[in-house]
Structure 1
Amino acid sequence: MLVLGAEDVESILATIDYEDLVQLMRTVFETLSGSPSRRDPAEGQGEDVASPLRTTIHSQKQTTLFMPSRLAVSGGSGIKVVSIPRQGASPNGLPATTLLLDDDTGRVNAIVNATQLTALRNAAGSALATRLAGISSPNRIVLFGAGLQVLHHAKMFLRLYPTLESCTIVNRSFNARLNNLSDRLRFEFPSKTILCGLLSDAPFVQNALSRADIVCTATPSASPLFETSWLNRTAHINLIGSYTPEMREVHDDLIAAASLILVDSIRACSVEAGELIHVPEDRLVEVGHFSCSKTSQGRSAGNSVAIPRESYTVFKSVGVGVQDVAIAAFIVEHGKEYGFGNVVSY
């Protein structure tokens, strides 16, 4: 059994091309949204793919999520366990672990520290959705939050979109997390303009949003973060933070006005996403279905799709377990190639 700790994962990530992660998420979502013959859409179960809804357990200090899944094409079977503090934010990301099982024996094949991987797979999913929504040469991106989700979203987009000139981070306070994040981004991307501002500074936020081509929200907010009227009308918005019916990061009128609403899973978002639980399912389009339909029309899988940008486009992700199995297996494969981790007899 291979064990990859946080330092191992950090070292492996330094060797990885972000484009490979985007294509990995493309495979994940296309497989998840495959034909009914490959899975039962009501239960999310099948021989090749299984993605049941997460199980939640509450303790005095933590909310712990258990996400079992199976993706035969990439990773096999596994489960991720992640704990979310009930008060405050975790300074070093959410504690998360993914177990991968051996398909032949059923035994644990690998244990992977998934603290960074959760944020990284979300960032890759957002990048894929943004590309599919037709954003090809953006100049400005705005991100809400200051945790690992925002770090990896900023790095993902700044690497994949060379045309981005500025990155604005909006947080509730000027704290150590925000300072460390902005310092790190300025160091890694010295040619980019990195700006920071407070959520309470409405003029700053409004000005940033009015010029933004891409907006990413990654907060567990129970109320909308900004007014819809502040947005650039042709912006693409990635909603990553909310994961319960009580949470919502944007107003209903933004969702109502969106020309396209992409989701990672209709079944999951209709139950877990506060922004979408009252939205008719026929307005939601799974990113895997959308990707398959555009590829089948002869477009290159690596290119953005030209769609009319009459209004906002939205991608909502609550996260699905098959993403975790796929990215953990990807990391394990690279870990073995470069000799990272510890092999433990079990």
Structure 2
Amino acid sequence: MLDAQAVRAAVPMAAAVDAVREAFLDLAAGRFVVPQRLSFGGGTTLVMSACHTPTSTTVVKTLSLVTGRTPTILGTLVWNTAEGQIVADAIEATTLRTGAVSGVATDLLAPPDAHRLALLGTGAQAADQVRAVAAVRPVDRLAVFGRDPSRASAFADRLGREFPAMSVRVAASAADAVSDAEIVCCATSSETPLFAVDALPERVHVNAIGSYLPSMRELPAELLATAGCVVVDQVEAVLEEAGEVIHAVETGLVDRASLVELGDALRTPPEVTGRTVFKSVGLAVQDWAVARLLGGA
């Protein structure tokens, strides 16, 4: 059993970004079998799995998510190969892979010289969003916003110590945080949009990884409707779970056919103009990518 510390020590963020990128390319090439994620108890228990057909390796992960509990996420990740099995704590694996996919999308869609990052949310997923973006872009300015000002301040202090060359400030509001950002990461469980579309600069890339239920909506529908490109981890998954995408499609603001899956976008990079969005609800191929690194592959 690999504990959280062992998982973190074995998988640097830059390696996780590269591994997740490769996994999405394999997904687009049809090299994975990925059953739809199972959700129980209103999303408080999740079960996800993936099989990489060329190697016959599989990953199965179970998660328990309870807002307000410390830690919020508890779970187990199991990596299976013909040679044996690895069991690992799923908390670090989940935050690593969720951060890593934002790193992949940011590397694809954000300007190469983007250096101003806004982070909305200070929970379990937040720090790895910063680590992943910093792995692919020269981030030197970070604005953090959280609903609890004291928690946001403590979180900003920790990130400032981890990234001493980065100027970190606590924003007064979400709109304040994103006002001059070149990259935005949303990592909250909000049921209402975090900001109005006109709070954003005209050229900005937005990652949204917090919402995973139809009732949750981090992004304004107008952003999805007017963005130059909306990339998702998987169309089927976001239309099942991502509240902001479900709402935008059902109201006719966004055409389902305009949603681009990340693997396809990596194979054929889109022309990037204006605002861009990446929406992820999390796929088991990301867990497979991190588990492969834990297995030494």
CA deviations on 1:77-134 (whole Å, 9 max, x unpaired) are 121101111xx33333411211112347xxx601011201211111111111112114
- Specify whether residues 22 and 10 from structure 1 end up closer, same or farther in structure 2 by C-alpha distance, changes over 3 A only: closer
User: Are 2:81 and 1:102 equivalent residues in the alignment?
Assistant: yes
Match of 2:109 in 1: 133
Structure 1 counterpart of 2:15, one-letter code: D
CA deviations on 1:277-301 (whole Å, 9 max, x unpaired) are 224321100110111124xxxxxxx
Decide which structure has greater helix share: 2
Rounded Cα–Cα distance in structure 1 between residues aligned with 2:278 and 2:56:
25
User: What are the ranges of 5 or more consecutive residues in structure 1 without an aligned counterpart?
Assistant: 39-47, 295-304, 335-346
User: Are 2:118 and 1:142 equivalent residues in the alignment?
Assistant: yes
SS at match of 2:296: helix
- Specify whether residues 233 and 267 from structure 1 end up closer, same or farther in structure 2 by C-alpha distance, changes over 3 A only: same
Rounded Cα–Cα distance in structure 2 between residues aligned with 1:122 and 1:97:
16
CA deviations on 1:287-335 (whole Å, 9 max, x unpaired) are 10111124xxxxxxxxxx7x342x210000000111112212212328x
Match of 1:66 in 2: 47
SS at match of 1:21: helix
Rounded Cα–Cα distance in structure 2 between residues aligned with 1:197 and 1:90:
25
- Specify whether residues 55 and 140 from structure 1 end up closer, same or farther in structure 2 by C-alpha distance, changes over 3 A only: same
User: Are 2:19 and 1:24 equivalent residues in the alignment?
Assistant: yes
Match of 1:10 in 2: 8
Rounded Cα–Cα distance in structure 1 between residues aligned with 2:228 and 2:44:
35
Rounded Cα–Cα distance in structure 1 between residues aligned with 2:59 and 2:244:
29
Instruction: Return the match for 1:250 from 212, 219, 222.
Output: 219
SS at match of 1:82: strand
User: Are 2:158 and 1:184 equivalent residues in the alignment?
Assistant: yes
User: What are the ranges of 5 or more consecutive residues in structure 2 without an aligned counterpart?
Assistant: none
Rounded Cα–Cα distance in structure 1 between residues aligned with 2:234 and 2:6:
31
1:75 to partner: Cα distance: 7.8
- Specify whether residues 175 and 82 from structure 1 end up closer, same or farther in structure 2 by C-alpha distance, changes over 3 A only: farther
Tell which structure's C-alpha radius of gyration is larger: 1
Structure 1 contact 75–329 (Cα < 8 Å) conserved: no
Match of 1:82 in 2: 63
Structure 2 counterpart of 1:98, one-letter code: L
Rounded Cα–Cα distance in structure 2 between residues aligned with 1:235 and 1:175:
28
* Normalised TM-score (structure 1): 0.78
Rounded Cα–Cα distance in structure 2 between residues aligned with 1:130 and 1:11:
24
- Specify whether residues 269 and 275 from structure 1 end up closer, same or farther in structure 2 by C-alpha distance, changes over 3 A only: same
- Identity between Structure 1 and Structure 2 (%): 31
SS at match of 1:290: helix
1:215 to partner: Cα distance: 0.5
- Specify whether residues 96 and 151 from structure 1 end up closer, same or farther in structure 2 by C-alpha distance, changes over 3 A only: same
Rounded Cα–Cα distance in structure 2 between residues aligned with 1:243 and 1:141:
23
Rounded Cα–Cα distance in structure 1 between residues aligned with 2:177 and 2:55:
39
Count of residue pairs brought into register by the alignment: 291
Rounded Cα–Cα distance in structure 2 between residues aligned with 1:308 and 1:262:
11
Instruction: Return the match for 1:281 from 256, 264, 270.
Output: 256
CA deviations on 1:212-246 (whole Å, 9 max, x unpaired) are 00001011111101111100111000010001111
1:206 to partner: Cα distance: 2.8
SS at match of 1:110: strand
Rounded Cα–Cα distance in structure 2 between residues aligned with 1:20 and 1:11:
12
SS at match of 2:149: coil
User: Are 2:33 and 1:50 equivalent residues in the alignment?
Assistant: yes
User: Are 2:169 and 1:195 equivalent residues in the alignment?
Assistant: yes
Rounded Cα–Cα distance in structure 2 between residues aligned with 1:99 and 1:169:
34
1:11 to partner: Cα distance: 2.7
User: Are 2:279 and 1:316 equivalent residues in the alignment?
Assistant: yes
* Normalised TM-score (structure 2): 0.91
1:222-237 correspondence runs (5 A): 222-237=191-206
Q: Which structure's relative contact order is higher, taking Cα pairs within 8 Å and 6+ residues apart?
A: 1
Rounded Cα–Cα distance in structure 2 between residues aligned with 1:181 and 1:31:
36
User: Are 2:146 and 1:171 equivalent residues in the alignment?
Assistant: yes
User: Are 2:295 and 1:332 equivalent residues in the alignment?
Assistant: yes
Match of 1:339 in 2: none
